[in-house]
Amino acid sequence: MTDSFVYAAARTPFGRYSGALADVRPDDLAATALTGLLAKAPDLDPGRIDDVYWGNANGAGEDNRNVGRMAVLLAGLPTNVPASTVNRLCGSSLDAAIIGSRAIAAGDAEIVVIGGVESMTRAPWVLPKPSRAFPAGNLEAVSTTLGWRLVNPGMPAEWTISLGECNERLGEKYGISRDRQDAFAARSHQLADKAWNDGFYDSLTVPAGDLTRDEGIRADSSAEKLARLKPSFRREGTITAGNASPLNDGAGAVLLGTAAAAFHIGFDPIARIAGRGAYALDPQDFGFAPVQAAETALRRAGIGWSDVGAVELNEAFAVQSLACVDAWGIDPEIVNTRGGAIAIGHPLGASGARILGTLAHVLLERNQRWGVAAICIGVGQALAVVLENCNP
């Protein structure tokens, strides 16, 4: 089996729902991330890219018809470069990375681009077709922005409760207080703001539209301010708009290849994909699924948590992030050291590419050998990838 390596990463800044990127189509966002990534490898002939795997969760609007292929064409790559769109909801672009790395491992590819995109702002309302023509009653348009839609009546009601209610139950089960959630969320904003001010994201992002910095970061956030917000899902609940990830627009991309691909890319890789893990449980428990996904990836990498120096865990909700960190028994200070999705944003299909690219660069910055990227996925799933720093 051939090892697969991360060579470079690029993403757009993430825009807030109905914010700075509201007028930018998702296929254009994808093309922007792809163009920005390839600009980092000017010696690479784009025609040598064996395949593109692109994550996207909704796919109901301008991101339809294989948005990965649309990104390749809009970015001006040679038409011989193929592309596929991957949908594992929030984990779509991390799944794309897993698929791309497996293609390399199997010898089916030498150079692969993976990425993902989501415009939650531009996700359309959909109108289901009636089973018979000319219905006499009204039809309801359904939002495709987030969560369950057009639910199959055969699904148990317990499985289709809201994402927020799922995580209120998780918080109850593991005794995670509102105070801890708000402190975790405030930390996310403070670290993300510091990362931008330090220049950490300068080399990882490319402007999109007029946006040059993640739009949702609140530099003045504090646990005290977040404590004033009202619960979003229960009257006496703990989850608020401040301690959960927002709705966002954005795209990200990562360049993968074999060790020998360095000759064509023009520089050496920065990290090796050492382990991959997927896990699933009851749909309503999705927030806790990264626990076992990460354990699986670590086992396949042949290491344990004591070896890990950095973790990028997508912050869908503060409560589920804390539940996972607690279960792993790791030092919270190694988690999301450059901010997380609560501050940066969570454009569903793009988040996996973001955490993977960020992790590779955090390992370099912190001079750590091993890192884990993990993400929870609605309907009870999670993915994780272990990276090994090539330059520890």
Pairing relationship of beta strands 271-280 and 5-11 according to DSSP bridges: antiparallel
CA dihedral 113, 120, 206, 41 (to 10 degrees): 0
Which H/E stretch holds residue 324?
A: helix 318-328
Round to whole Å and give the CA distance between 335 and 371: 10
Q: Which of 216, 233, 175 is nearest to 17 (CA)?
A: 216
Contact by Cβ (8 Å): 58, 118: yes
| Joined tokens for residue 5 | 């390596």
CA-closest candidate to residue 233, choices 172, 152, 185, 314: 172
Burial of 213 (C-beta count, 10 Å sphere; 0-12/13-18/19+): middle
Q: What is the CA radius of gyration of the chain?
A: 20
Q: Enumerate the active-site residues.
A: 90, 346, 376
CA distances from 351 to 34, 69, 128 (A): 15, 19, 29
DSSP 272: E
* Cβ-Cβ contacts under 8 Å for 337 (sequence gap 6 or more): 191, 310, 362, 366
- The tokens 């390992």 sit on which residue? 363
199: how many CB neighbours lie within 10 A of its CB? 8
Give, in degrees to the nearest 5, the angle at Cα 202 between 197 and 206.
135
Which segments within 65-124 are labelled E, that is strand? 83-86, 111-119
Cα 18–Cα 89–Cα 322 angle in degrees, nearest 5: 85
